[in-house]
């Protein structure tokens, strides 16, 4: 554990190790990344070669011991406990202390007490969910600021109504939502929003200004010192999706004009972002990977980069086997199904549905007792119907039905091809105690599927997904249950709405007063050791 250095990290080494193990054990991909490419020389023709051979042998021995330690059979809790003794992820059993602005891992791993003072917070967000199904960013904004208002802070939101109308201001206790008329393109008219904000600021100054992505443009944000922007995906990480989409072309199939355009423009988007991100003072990365990219590629100093992973409403998404059973009954899942796989979201190509469709079609040739439930809407909904009686499309579900859906499945699969941000569905499924199978994007691997107890990863191609599905089937339902318990424990520390809210609160406090950047304060809680073992 490095404590004296410039960078403070309590989880780096364990997450790194966990990630390495996940590649070996998750079995999903059958690929061992980072395996040393060593080979012993057949004859020791010189002293140099002998020395080299000894070195290799020693490091192999060390590597094996460490690998054995990591792969020894332990249930999820056993491993979590040992992680804690190590002071590792997620919450560093050994008490972490220091300056939060030097922390280069997720704040979610810490435990924050009640706020030592209440803040006045302004939020700019492009849309506020009013009716309809909100997108990921809007849901994040809503969940987060409800928690902040619930903790007693006065929150003022400057936004446009999701349904395109101009509703009256909404006031729910400490949460005030000020709507402005959408501009001609239906977006947030920043001039109006800014005027409303200045008016409120002149009556009583805001402690912090928060922008979800670029809702408050950089040229407006530039002069505000108490300014933080949250990034739910940056152009640099999208390069990975671009590569994936290009690789999906069949041999000889030409690039579409659209793909050609996207590929040729992406790097310009990156440098453009690097330039204008400087206009914002504080940056919240919603995944560990983006935190790293912001420091390296985007050249933002570590003390202005804060990793706060998304959380989901833990009162809505929680394990409940009774609703799971009735959901299965209601939707006619066969009683003799040995494994129920679930997918949810928009059923479009970008979300990887062509891959899942193809991989699952192959699986049911050999496994007549696995079942696929697909929640959501989109062009691929119709295709899945072809896989009846082994698959069923459920259409769009409300958040309440979605919670029932997660409880009805054995494992949640998210084959997304978009490397941007962290999908809420992953966190919701974990909160409901379900393991995950997802694409091996860095954001997912470094922040969510950090080891094989949480689930499986696969490379975004049909073969790799098929292999991962076969591992899941081989491991079986009971193993999924055990992994699911681990997921629930991990998520109840890392991915609750309350934890996300408390972490943002602390960041905002720290932006106001340096003393609050210290961790722990006397009001802070002990790291939640028990939450691992009580669910
Ligand atoms: C808000 O008000 C405070 C106090 O008057 C002032 O210092 C600050 O510059 C104002 N913020 C903006 C963005 O104008
Ligand atoms: C920001 O401050 C600089 C000087 O400090 C000033 O020239 C510029 O007009 C300000 N920009 C905005 C958008 O207020
Ligand atoms: C499951 O049960 C149904 C009837 O309820 C039957 O048609 C089907 O063949 C069974 N599947 C397996 C794999 O046993």
Nearest to 92 by CA among 100, 101, 82: 82
Nearest to 338 by CA among 473, 481, 483, 485: 473
CATH superfamily of 321-494: Glycogen Phosphorylase B; (3.40.50.2000)
Of the bound ligands, which one is closest to the alpha carbon of residue 227?
Answer: 1
- CB-ligand 1 contact for 396 (6 Å cutoff): no
Residues 454/490, Cβ–Cβ less than 8 Å: yes
Atom of ligand 2 nearest to the CA of 219: 13
CA of 201 to the centre of ligand 1 (A): 6
- Could you tell which of 191, 223, 227 is best to mutate to test the pocket of ligand 2, judged by most ligand atoms within 8 Å of the CB? 223
The token duo for 500 is 């996300």
CA distance 139 to 402: 15
Read out DSSP for 442-481?
HHHHHHT--STTTEEEE-SSHHHHHHHHHHHHHHHHHHHH
Name the packing angle between helices 424-431 and 462-494 (round to 10°): 60
Instruction: Find tokens 């990290």 and name the residue.
Output: 9
Other beta carbons less than 10 A from residue 337's beta carbon: 18
- Could you tell which of 119, 158, 205, 280 is best to mutate to test the pocket of ligand 1, judged by most ligand atoms within 8 Å of the CB? 205
Atom of ligand 3 nearest to the CA of 368: 13
CA of 187 to the centre of ligand 2 (A): 25
CATH superfamily of 101-307: Glycogen Phosphorylase B; (3.40.50.2000)
Residues 6+ away with beta carbon under 8 Å from 463: none
**What is the residue with the minimal CA distance to atom 13 of ligand 1?**
224
Instruction: Find tokens 């003022």 and name the residue.
Output: 156
**Residues framing ligand 3 (Cβ under 6 A):** 334, 336, 368-369
CA of 241 to the centre of ligand 1 (A): 41
- CB-ligand 2 contact for 223 (6 Å cutoff): yes
Of the bound ligands, which one is closest to the alpha carbon of residue 198?
Answer: 1
Burial 244-262 (b: 16+ CB within 10 A, else e): bbeebeeeeeeeeeeeeeb
Read out DSSP for 273-319?
HHHHHTT-SEEEESSHHHHHHHHHTS---GGGEEE----B-TTTS--
CA of 373 to the centre of ligand 3 (A): 17
CA of 276 to the centre of ligand 2 (A): 15
Of the bound ligands, which one is closest to the alpha carbon of residue 390?
Answer: 3
Of the bound ligands, which one is closest to the alpha carbon of residue 217?
Answer: 2
**What is the residue with the minimal CA distance to atom 8 of ligand 1?**
205
- CB-ligand 1 contact for 194 (6 Å cutoff): no
CA distance 495 to 453: 16
Domains 101-307 and 321-494 share a fold: yes
**What is the residue with the minimal CA distance to atom 3 of ligand 2?**
223
Predicted confidence pLDDT, tens digits, the chain (535 residues): 333 334 554 443 333 333 333 333 333 333 323 333 333 334 444 555 655 655 555 565 555 544 444 433 333 333 343 333 333 344 444 578 999 999 999 999 999 999 999 999 999 999 998 876 677 888 899 999 999 999 999 999 999 998 888 889 999 999 999 999 999 888 999 999 999 999 999 999 999 999 999 999 999 999 999 999 999 989 999 999 999 999 989 999 999 999 999 999 999 999 999 999 999 999 999 999 999 999 999 999 999 999 999 999 999 999 999 999 999 999 999 999 999 999 999 999 999 999 999 999 999 999 999 999 999 999 999 999 999 999 999 999 998 999 999 999 999 999 999 988 788 999 999 999 999 999 999 999 999 999 999 999 999 999 999 999 999 999 999 999 999 999 999 999 999 999 999 999 999 999 999 999 999 999 998 765 544 433 3
- Could you tell which of 328, 335, 336, 368 is best to mutate to test the pocket of ligand 3, judged by most ligand atoms within 8 Å of the CB? 336
pLDDT recorded at residue 20: 35
C-alpha distances out from residue 139 to 145, 241, 415, 423, 424, Å:
10, 23, 21, 11, 9
pLDDT recorded at residue 254: 96
Residue 494, H or E segment = helix 462-494
CA distance 484 to 431: 9
Residues 6+ away with beta carbon under 8 Å from 258: none
Specify which residues 208 forms β-bridges with: 121
- CB-ligand 1 contact for 479 (6 Å cutoff): no
Nearest to 176 by CA among 160, 154, 196, 191: 154
Order of strands, edge to edge, in the sheet holding 436-439? 391-395, 370-375, 339-344, 411-414, 436-439, 455-458
Radius of gyration of the chain (CA): 24
Atom of ligand 1 nearest to the CA of 198: 14
CA of 286 to the centre of ligand 2 (A): 29
Q: What is the largest CA-CA distance in the chain?
A: 84
Residues 6+ away with beta carbon under 8 Å from 393: 347, 374, 381, 382, 384, 385
Give the per-residue SS3 of 1-39: CECCCCCEECCHHHHHHHHHHHHHHCCCCCCCCCCCCCC
- CB-ligand 1 contact for 461 (6 Å cutoff): no
Atom of ligand 1 nearest to the CA of 209: 13
Specify which residues 63 forms β-bridges with: none
CA distance 364 to 354: 16
CA distance 146 to 121: 12
CA of 207 to the centre of ligand 1 (A): 9
CA distance 441 to 421: 10
Other beta carbons less than 10 A from residue 151's beta carbon: 18
> What phi-psi label fits residue 476: left (phi over 0), alpha (psi between -120 and 50 degrees) or beta?
left
Cα pseudo-dihedral 114, 117, 120, 123, rounded to 10: -40
CA distance 420 to 444: 10
- Could you tell which of 120, 121, 201 is best to mutate to test the pocket of ligand 1, judged by most ligand atoms within 8 Å of the CB? 201
Order of strands, edge to edge, in the sheet holding 120-124? 170-172, 175-179, 154-159, 120-124, 208-212, 227-231, 282-285, 305-307
Residues 6+ away with beta carbon under 8 Å from 35: none
CA of 205 to the centre of ligand 2 (A): 19
CA distance 379 to 246: 21
**What is the residue with the minimal CA distance to atom 14 of ligand 2?**
223
| pTM for the whole structure | 0.83
User: What are the domain boundaries of the chain?
Assistant: 101-307, 321-494
Of the bound ligands, which one is closest to the alpha carbon of residue 335?
Answer: 3
Burial 176-195 (b: 16+ CB within 10 A, else e): bbbbbebeeeeebebebbbe
pLDDT recorded at residue 43: 41
């Amino acid at each position: 554990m490095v404590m004296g250095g410039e960078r403070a990290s309590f989880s780096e080494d364990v997450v790194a190790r966990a990630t390495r193990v996940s590649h070996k054990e998750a079995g999903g991909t059958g690929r061992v990344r980072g395996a040393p490419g060593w080979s012993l020389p057949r004859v020791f023709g010189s002293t140099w070669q002998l020395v080299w051979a000894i070195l290799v042998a020693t490091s192999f021995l060390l590597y094996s011991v460490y690998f054995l330690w990591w792969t020894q059979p332990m249930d999820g809790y056993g491993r979590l406990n040992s992680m804690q003794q190590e002071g590792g992820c997620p919450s560093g059993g050994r008490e972490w202390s220091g300056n939060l602005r030097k922390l280069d891992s997720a704040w979610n791993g810490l435990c924050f007490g009640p706020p030592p003072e209440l803040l006045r917070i302004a939020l700019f967000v492009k849309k506020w969910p009013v009716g309809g199904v909100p997108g990921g960013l809007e849901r994040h904004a809503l969940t987060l600021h409800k928690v902040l208002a619930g903790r007693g802070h006065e929150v003022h939101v400057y936004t446009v109504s999701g349904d395109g109308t101009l509703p009256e201001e909404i006031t729910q206790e400490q949460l005030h939502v000020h709507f402005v008329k959408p501009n001609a393109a239906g977006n947030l008219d920043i001039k109006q929003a800014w005027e409303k904000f200045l008016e409120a600021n002149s009556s009583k100054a805001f402690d912090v200004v928060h922008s979800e992505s670029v809702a408050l443009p950089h040229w407006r944000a530039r002069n505000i010192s108490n300014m933080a922007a949250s990034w739910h995906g940056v152009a640099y990480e999208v390069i990975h999706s671009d590569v994936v989409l290009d690789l999906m072309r069949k041999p000889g199939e030409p690039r579409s004009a659209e793909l050609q355009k996207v590929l040729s423009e992406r790097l310009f988007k990156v440098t453009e972002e690097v330039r204008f991100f400087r206009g914002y003072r504080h940056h919240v990365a919603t995944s560990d990977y983006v935190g790293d990219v912001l420091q390296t590629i985007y050249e933002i100093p570590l003390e202005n980069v804060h990793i706060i992973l998304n959380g989901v409403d833990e009162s809505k998404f929680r394990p409940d086997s009774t609703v799971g059973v009735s959901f299965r009954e209601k939707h006619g899942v066969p009683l003799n199904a040995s494994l129920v796989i679930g997918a949810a979201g928009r059923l479009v190509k970008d979300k990887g549905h062509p891959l899942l469709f193809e991989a699952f079609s192959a699986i049911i040739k050999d496994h007549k007792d696995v079942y696929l439930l697909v929640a959501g809407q989109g062009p691929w909904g119709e295709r899945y119907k072809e896989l009846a009686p082994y698959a069923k499309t459920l259409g769009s579900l409300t958040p309440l039905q979605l919670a029932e859906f997660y409880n009805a499945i054995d494992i949640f699969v998210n084959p997304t091809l978009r490397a941007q941000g962290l999908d809420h569905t992953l966190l919701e499924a974990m909160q409901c105690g379900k393991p995950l199978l997802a694409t091996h994007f860095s954001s997912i691997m470094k922040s969510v599927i950090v080891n094989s107890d949480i689930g499986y990863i696969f490379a975004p191609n049909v073969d790799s997904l098929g292999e991962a599905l076969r591992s899941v089937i081989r491991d079986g339902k009971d193993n999924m249950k055990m992994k699911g318990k681990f997921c629930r424990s991990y998520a109840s520390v890392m991915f609750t709405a309350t934890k996300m809210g408390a972490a943002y609160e602390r960041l905002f406090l720290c932006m106001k007063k340096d003393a609050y950047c210290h961790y722990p304060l006397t009001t802070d809680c002990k790291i939640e050791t028990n939450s691992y073992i009580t669910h």
